[in-house]
Amino acid sequence: MNTDYILQNFVDMGIAVVDVRDVRGWSPWHQHGISSGKATYVTPQDRDAFVVTVRHCQDNNLNYALIGGGTATCKPCGADVLIVTECLKALSIDTSAEELIVGAGVAIETAESFVAEHGWTLGQWLGSGATATIGGAIVTNANGILAGRYGNFRDAVTLIEILDQSGNTSWISPATYRSLPSAVILGVRIPLWLSPDGRAVARFVGAGDPLAALRQVATARLMPALISVDQSGTITVIVEGEPHLETARYQLIAAILQKQGAVQDLTLDQGKHWDTLLSSNPWSANAAGDVWADRIVLTVLWSDYSQVLNTWMQRAQSAGAELTWRAINPTQNGVQLILDFQLEGVKTGPDWLYS
């Protein structure tokens, strides 16, 4: 078999880079019996090129092995080429399913850092995570230090995208994958957990003047991820840190709120998803055809917020409208007021709302 000719086809088609690297002395290769010190690497340009490369090897009976981070590569002895998986780098979060969709070539720490930015964790901590890949962890059935809580990769994934021996791609269950030892992993879906050291929610109730409490927090430059107060006087604080409710910043915020007479609501589920809280709305605008609804967002100075809020409350009461409000994004100068109105029995808003 003219392996060089087949490899040149990869280059001519513009789908991959082919190079020879010295691997002598690298313990994983040494353990697997590679004595020549040289290995031919094929690096596809992207996911589609990866699929074409594998199919081309299969069609031409070219022995190949896949190489991720190289930390525990499975016996490439006898392979004509090593196909690099780094092009399999998909990364996205399915928030409704609370799962990460990730390519097989993504390093474990890269995936963990990505989900951590959104307040999640995979719970898959490996000492080799900086280079070890998702696909490699599944193939080698790797276990992280938190496997007792989160399981290992092979047990944790819910679906696996494969390239089979016929050259077809599909999403299959982990159980089905285990019955197809020759299938190539392209990507996986893996459940997300709320990060224990990412973000947490705390609520305080009973402040004498909750907006004044927000003002003091803002003036002290102690801005958390989010701080807001609603019409009931409940102050919501979203904080970040490790551990999240024991940081100095949070403790000082809590002290300020307590000085204003607020106490922490210990009934709140600390596991509440913070982004769900951010997007929550006390009512759904125009949910019914016979109810008019509108939202007004005002940025007001601290010196004016009481007067502005009272004015809109009086307007709503005069019109027979229901008003709910919350204040968010406090700064040293002022705060944003979100005013939500509902008025039954009308299709359009009263003129005074636009004055």
180 within domain boundaries = yes
Look at residue 14 and tell me whether its pLDDT is greater than 80.
no
31 and 44, same domain (yes or no): yes
Higher pLDDT, 79 or 24: 79
Look at residue 163 and tell me whether its pLDDT is greater than 60.
yes
190 and 95, same domain (yes or no): yes
Domain boundary among 65, 84, 103: 84
Q: Is the pTM of this model over 0.95?
A: no
Q: What's the number of domains the chain is made of?
A: 4
Higher pLDDT, 300 or 349: 300
Average pLDDT, the chain: 78
104 and 170, same domain (yes or no): yes
Residue 235: CATH number of its domain = 3.30.70.3450
How far CA 154 is from CA of 131, 137, 207, 233, in Å, comes to: 18, 8, 50, 47
Weakest mean pLDDT among 149-153, 181-185, 239-243, 306-310: 239-243
Q: Tell how far CA 219 is from the center of its chain.
A: 31
Nearest CA-CA partner of 142 in 130, 131, 128? 128
pLDDT digits (tens, 9 = 90+) for 173-200: 988 988 888 899 999 999 887 666 566 7
The pLDDT of 287-304, averaged and rounded, is 77
189 and 95, same domain (yes or no): yes
Three-state SS string over the chain comes to: CCHHHHHHHHHHCCCEEEEEEECCCCHHHHHCCCCCCEEEEEEECCHHHHHHHHHHHHHCCCCEEEECCCCCCCCCCCCCEEEECCCCCCEEEECCCCEEEEECCCEHHHHHHHHHCCCEECCCCCCCCCCCEHHHHHHCCCCCCCHHHHCCHHHHCCEEEEECCCCCEEEECHHHHHCCCCCEEEEEEEECEECCCCEEEEEEECCCCHHHHHHHHHHCCCCCCEEEEECCCCEEEEEECCCCCCCHHHHHHHHHHHHCCCEECCCCCCCCCHHHHHHCCCCCCCCCCCEEEEEEEEEEECCCHHHHHHHHHHHHHHHCCEEEEEEECCCCCEEEEEEEEEEECCCCCCHHHHC
- Give dist(CA 85, CA 166) in Å, integer: 20
pLDDT digits (tens, 9 = 90+) for 310-347: 999 998 888 888 888 989 889 888 999 988 888 776 54
The pLDDT of 225-254, averaged and rounded, is 79
Weakest mean pLDDT among 58-67, 164-173, 250-259: 58-67
Q: What pLDDT, on the 0 to 100 scale, is given for residue 341?
A: 82
- Give dist(CA 112, CA 116) in Å, integer: 6
284 within domain boundaries = no
Relative orientation angle of helices 210-219 and 248-259, to the nearest 10 degrees: 140
Please, which pLDDT band fits residue 224 given cuts at 50, 70 and 90? confident
* 247: containing domain: 199-279
Look at residue 269 and tell me whether its pLDDT is greater than 70.
no
104 and 166, same domain (yes or no): yes
Please, which pLDDT band fits residue 303 given cuts at 50, 70 and 90? very high
For residue 10, how many other CB atoms are within 10 A of its CB?
Answer: 23
Higher pLDDT, 10 or 106: 106
12 and 104, same domain (yes or no): no
185 and 205, same domain (yes or no): no
Weakest mean pLDDT among 96-100, 246-250, 269-273, 310-314: 269-273
The pLDDT of 30-35, averaged and rounded, is 47
Q: Which residue has the tokens 């990412």?
A: 198
Q: What pLDDT, on the 0 to 100 scale, is given for residue 192?
A: 84
Nearest CA-CA partner of 126 in 184, 242, 140, 199? 140
78 and 167, same domain (yes or no): no
Of all residues in the chain, what percent carry a pLDDT higher than 70?
A: 72
Say if CB 124 and CB 148 are below 8 A apart: no
Q: What pLDDT, on the 0 to 100 scale, is given for residue 171?
A: 96
The pLDDT of 273-298, averaged and rounded, is 61
171 and 103, same domain (yes or no): yes
